[in-house]
Amino acid sequence: MKKKDPGIAVKPSVQVLERMFTLIDVLASREEAISLKEISEKTGLHPSTTHRILNDLTIGRFVDRPESGSYRLGMRLLELGNLVKARLSVRDAALGPMRNLHKLIQQPVNLSVRQGDEIVYVERAYSERSGMQVVRAIGGRAPLHLTSTGKLFLALDDPQRVRAYATRTGLAGHTRNSITQLPILERELGKARQYGVARDNEELELGVRCMAAGVFDDQGKLVAGLSISAPADRLDEGWLPKLQATAHEISLALGYQSTTDTTNRSSDAG
């Protein structure tokens, strides 16, 4: 039998984590702040232990202390929850409809979200029969202004933020079709706002065109873009209503309540 190393504590992290989760569960059971004494009683932890762990959670903003001796859940949990909601629940809701759309059009269907000045591809539905030489890998990134989904997000920014984006990025291009001038980008974003769809006309990659429609959550916030990629000479405008209907289906699954039917908008946004 191996001797225990006196310099190493036995499972301290597991015990601390277990106690931390217990404390969070107690705080989650009440809307109002709870006193240290009551938390200690409910968890069976010694007040000094309870105070020490709650203090560490407060430093990390997982717990708030509205007044001395009382605690409630902190905003950091809300921030993390919103990230999970935006990234994971969208993927879960989107995968089935994406696959159905791919079966109809036999071209890659992509789901992407915004992270800073880029979009990140978080899901895809495609097959080798699509004829596409390059399919963006899950986790791949691309500049907002060079992608159809990225333009949807930029279109919702105010003019000052769009100008700031242009300054930060320099609107660097990838192909001869890339939009590298702010006035041209602003006109393109105006079309996206008007019609609710956006395009990539071989701006990220020569030989590939894309069209995108937005996915909205229960608060009406744009959380992702659903796009179709196809060889430039095979992108079919007849796919646009199907794309919009699929994006709308995913939005409804996320709790979105539309006031207008975006699937009936004109496809003149190109």
Are 121 and 136 in contact by the 8 Å Cβ rule? The answer is yes
**Spatial separation of the C-alpha atoms in residues 266 and 34, rounded to whole Å:** 55
Element (H, E) at 16: helix 12-28
Separation of first and last alpha carbons in the chain: 73
Element (H, E) at 161: helix 159-169
Domain identity same for 163 and 51: no
- The CATH number of the domain holding residue 143 is 3.30.450.40
**Per-residue model confidence as pLDDT tens digits over 227-244:** 999 999 889 999 999 999
**Per-residue model confidence as pLDDT tens digits over 62-80:** 999 988 889 999 988 888 8
Are 142 and 133 in contact by the 8 Å Cβ rule? The answer is no
Portion of the chain with pLDDT greater than 70, in percent: 85
Within a domain: 5: no
**Per-residue model confidence as pLDDT tens digits over 181-236:** 999 999 999 999 999 999 999 999 999 999 999 999 988 999 999 999 999 988 99
Q: Is the backbone of residue 23 left (phi > 0), alpha (psi -120 to 50) or beta?
A: alpha
Domain identity same for 100 and 211: yes
Domain identity same for 62 and 93: no
3-state DSSP call for residue 158?
coil
3-state DSSP call for residue 67?
coil
pLDDT score recorded for residue 17: 85
Domain identity same for 39 and 151: no
Torsion of CA 19, 23, 29, 32, to 10 degrees: 180
Domain identity same for 152 and 19: no
Domain identity same for 105 and 215: yes
Are 73 and 28 in contact by the 8 Å Cβ rule? The answer is yes
Domain identity same for 44 and 137: no
Could you give the number of structural domains in the chain?
2
Within a domain: 264: no
Domain identity same for 171 and 241: yes
Domain identity same for 61 and 137: no
Domain that holds residue 39: 15-73
Within a domain: 231: yes
Amino acid in the structure at residue 53 = I
Out of 73, 108, 140, pick the residue that ends a domain.
73
Which residue is listed with tokens 């919702």?
Answer: 156
pLDDT score recorded for residue 7: 43
Domain identity same for 98 and 178: yes
- The CATH number of the domain holding residue 47 is 1.10.10.10
pLDDT score recorded for residue 82: 75
Out of 33, 53, 73, pick the residue that ends a domain.
73
**Spatial separation of the C-alpha atoms in residues 35 and 33, rounded to whole Å:** 7
Out of 31, 52, 73, pick the residue that ends a domain.
73
Are 91 and 124 in contact by the 8 Å Cβ rule? The answer is no
